[in-house]
Amino acid sequence: MEASSNANDFIGIAIAAYGIEADEIELAVMRAAHEMFWPPILELLDLDNSEAPVEPTPDLSRAPEER
Amino acid sequence: MNEALDLSLREQTRAIAAGETDAGELLEATLRRIEERNPTLNAVVETFPERSREMLAAAPQGPLHGVPVVIKDEWPLPWRAQRFGAADMLADSAPGESGPYRALRDAGAVIVGVGNMHELGASSTGNVSVYGPARNPWSTERCPGGSSSGPASAVAARLVAGAVGADGIGSIRYPAAYCGLTGLKPTFGRSAMAGHHMAEVSSTIVSGPLCADAADCRLLASVLYGEELRGGEVQGLRIGVIRDEVSEDVAPAVREACEAAVEDLRRETGGEVREIELPELAAATLATVLIANGESLNNVTRERLNHLDPELSPLGRGLLKYRILLPAAATVKSAQLRAIARRRLAAVFADVDVIAWPTVPAVAPPLEAPLVELPSGTLTADQANVRGGALANLTGIPAVSVPVGNSQGLPIALQLQGAWGRDELLLDAAEVLERANGRRWVDALPPLAADVLEA
Residue B190 forms contact with A (CB below 8 Å): yes
**Residue A40 is assigned to a structural domain of this protein:** yes
Shared domain check, B244 and B206: no
Shared domain check, B256 and B380: yes
List the catalytic residues of B.
72, 147, 171
Kindly determine whether residue B343 and residue A62, on different chains, have CB atoms separated by under 8 Å: no
- One-letter amino acid at B409 equals G
**Residue A66 is assigned to a structural domain of this protein:** no
Under 8 Å between Cβ of B165 and B183:
yes
The dihedral through the CA atoms of A35, B133, B156, B219 has a sign that is negative
Residue B306 forms contact with A (CB below 8 Å): yes
pLDDT of B140 reads 98
- One-letter amino acid at B228 equals E
**Residue B426 is assigned to a structural domain of this protein:** no
Give, in degrees to the nearest 5, the angle at Cα B294 between B297 and B280.
155
Under 8 Å between Cβ of B348 and B276:
yes
Residue B399 forms contact with A (CB below 8 Å): no
* Alpha-carbon distance B210 to nearest alpha carbon in chain A (angstroms): 21
Contacts of A28 in chain B (CB under 8 A): 318
Under 8 Å between Cβ of B149 and B137:
no
The dihedral through the CA atoms of B82, B315, B373, A8 has a sign that is positive
Contacts of A19 in chain B (CB under 8 A): 302, 306
Shared domain check, B259 and B201: no
Shared domain check, B391 and B266: yes
C-alpha B438/C-alpha B415 separation (Å) is 19
- One-letter amino acid at B365 equals P
C-alpha B41/C-alpha B64 separation (Å) is 26
Mean pLDDT calculated for residue range A41-67: 86
pLDDT of B159 reads 98
Strands (E), B329-422: 354-358, 371-374, 377-380, 399-407, 410-418
Domain with B344, as residue range(s), is 238-419
In tens digits, what is the pLDDT along chain B, a chain of 455 residues? 678 999 999 999 999 999 999 999 999 999 999 999 999 999 999 999 999 999 999 999 999 999 999 999 999 999 999 999 999 999 889 999 999 999 999 999 999 999 999 999 999 999 999 999 999 999 999 999 999 999 999 999 999 999 999 999 999 999 999 999 999 999 999 999 999 999 999 999 999 999 999 999 999 999 999 999 999 999 999 999 999 999 999 999 999 999 999 999 999 999 999 999 999 999 999 999 999 999 998 878 999 999 999 999 999 999 999 999 998 889 989 999 999 999 999 999 999 999 999 999 999 999 999 999 999 999 999 999 999 999 999 999 999 999 999 999 999 999 999 999 999 999 999 999 999 999 999 999 999 887 554 43
**Residue B69 is assigned to a structural domain of this protein:** yes
More confident site: B453 or A6: A6
Q: How many CB pairs under 8 A join A and B?
A: 120
Domain with A37, as residue range(s), is 3-46
Shared domain check, B297 and B282: yes
**How many domains does one find in chain B?**
2
Shared domain check, B252 and B338: yes
**How many domains does one find in chain A?**
1
Residue A62 forms contact with B (CB below 8 Å): yes
Kindly determine whether residue B330 and residue A36, on different chains, have CB atoms separated by under 8 Å: no
Kindly determine whether residue B302 and residue A36, on different chains, have CB atoms separated by under 8 Å: no
Residue A16 forms contact with B (CB below 8 Å): no
Lay out the sheet containing B182-185: strands in order across: B44-46, B110-115, B68-72, B162-167, B206-211, B182-185, B399-407, B410-418, B354-358, B238-242, B272-276
Under 8 Å between Cβ of B442 and B183:
no
Shared domain check, B53 and B33: yes
